[in-house]
Amino acid sequence: MAIAKNNTIINDSFLLESKLANTLYHSYLAHLPIIDYHNHLSPKAIAKNTSYDTLTDIWLTGDHYKYRAMRAWGVPEKFISGAATKEQKFLAWADCMPNTLRNPLFHWSHMELKNSFGINEYLNKNNALAIYKNANKQLQKKALSTRGILASYKVELVGTTDDPCDNLQYHKLLQNETLKMLPSFRPDQIFKIQDKQAFMQYLQQLEKAANCKIKTIADLLNALEQRVNYFHEHGCRIADHGLAQMPSNLVLTKSLELEFTQFIQSKKLVQFSAPDNFVGVVLLALSKMYYKKGWVQQFHLGPIRNNNTRLQEKLGFDAGADSIGDYTQAKTLSHFLNTLDTKGQLCKTIIYNSNPADNEVFATLCGNFNESGIRGKVQFGAAWWFLDQKEGIEKQINAISNMGLISTFVGMTTDSRSILSFARHEYFRRVICNLFAKEMMTGLLPNDEKWVGAMLQNIAYHNAKSYFNL
């Protein structure tokens, strides 16, 4: 596919359909710093200020969004995650790129090329090699090291995602730096009790990290509390959890205690009879710990993970074969939040959905558990994963606006493994400015640029700064 060199849509007015939208973005949001309170960036890469040799290393490796697109285009796995050279993998992606039209990858990718490398042309097989060589040469500059890129985007906070067993050694290295890199407590592994072999292996890691033996549920909760305390001492103020849906049974019974003890003592690969109950008890106990520490808890709910057995057996877990799930969410989520609220132990909470059918459900649930003196205590989080695209962002904003107060929204977060993905904050800011401008021009919102501009600044930056006590 031949594409003209100068045929590009990534310009100053990208996504901004009016003069007013341009004004809102460029005068009020474009210059604001970024608080990225949830992502999957490598703490080591940031602390060590890693530089990258090739565009493949920094842009393609491990990017499941791009991997999915390439598989959909029929690219052989050799050129995706396999043994092909870095250059061959990039050329394969470049050949696929023009065919991602209307997928957010098309926008994100070209924004990333423009913002970080000054390359403002459509990537395709004809210009791929020249772009590859140009970018690789630029990557040798300090400005394109990990921290150089963070500085270019004016990133104030990087909220990484960290296992409870992590010693946080790389976070310690940045404790006195201007850039804040704070850990987030992500205990997902402890909930995977249905896979006994993996669960027991993880239990050994937790025992070592907490320096204790785990023989009972009480021991397990004590070990987790030790790790919560450790994380808190090293700057952690956020917890995160990835679940299909919230557990329904939150009651710790004698039978559950007994089964857990017998389960971990037995050498047989037996199935735990009540995994939902186990998850509920542990998650509720953790949430109470977060409340005591004054943390913010996050719940990412709804995806079906690792759908493709063939791909999983070849590449392992999280190979890019996940999808939106259609789980029932309202009753169990409400029950969990209400249980904590009733006991006066509900901390600030952000909930994210992967199913757009749950937008209004989640938005209304958030409004049930507010508290005097805290604006937007329970938040409907940013459009996440498959919903992180123009239409998905607009629908999420509309759901909050219609069911709650968009003025309290803590805004965008990347949830990304790519250091270049901070362009998504710009994407979000442009989308919301355009949406507000449209309604100002049609009389649905006051035509007061300063009033609306100040609210948008809060959504893009100030609300998050206040919510996370930064």
CB atoms within 10 A of CB 368: 11
Is 114 among the domain residues?
A: no
**CA max distance for the chain:** 70
Which 3 state secondary structure label does DSSP give 42? coil
Is 184 among the domain residues?
A: yes
Is 81 among the domain residues?
A: no
Instruction: Average the pLDDT over 276-290 and give the result.
Output: 98
Domain that holds residue 369: 19-50+145-467
Whole-angstrom distance, CA of residue 166 vs CA of residue 183:
10
Specify whether the CB–CB gap between 220 and 282 falls below 8 A: yes
Is 130 among the domain residues?
A: no
- Mean pLDDT lowest for which of 61-65, 108-112, 149-153, 197-201? 61-65
Specify whether the CB–CB gap between 51 and 74 falls below 8 A: no
**pTM summary value:** 0.96
Is 139 among the domain residues?
A: no
Number of domains in the chain: 1
Is 443 among the domain residues?
A: yes
pLDDT digit string, tens, across residues 87-127: 999 999 999 999 999 999 999 999 999 999 999 999 999 99
How confident is the model at residue 398, as a pLDDT?
98
Is 80 among the domain residues?
A: no
How confident is the model at residue 6, as a pLDDT?
54
How confident is the model at residue 415, as a pLDDT?
94
CA separation (Å) from 29 to 26, 114, 372, 459, 470?
A: 6, 19, 29, 10, 19
Please check the confidence at residue 5 and state whether its pLDDT lies above 60.
Answer: no
CATH code, domain with 305: 3.20.20.140
Sign of the Cα torsion 455, 460, 461, 464 reads positive
Please check the confidence at residue 4 and state whether its pLDDT lies above 70.
Answer: no
Is 178 among the domain residues?
A: yes
Please report, to the nearest 10 degrees, the dihedral formed by the alpha carbons of residues 429, 434, 440, 446 taken in order.
0
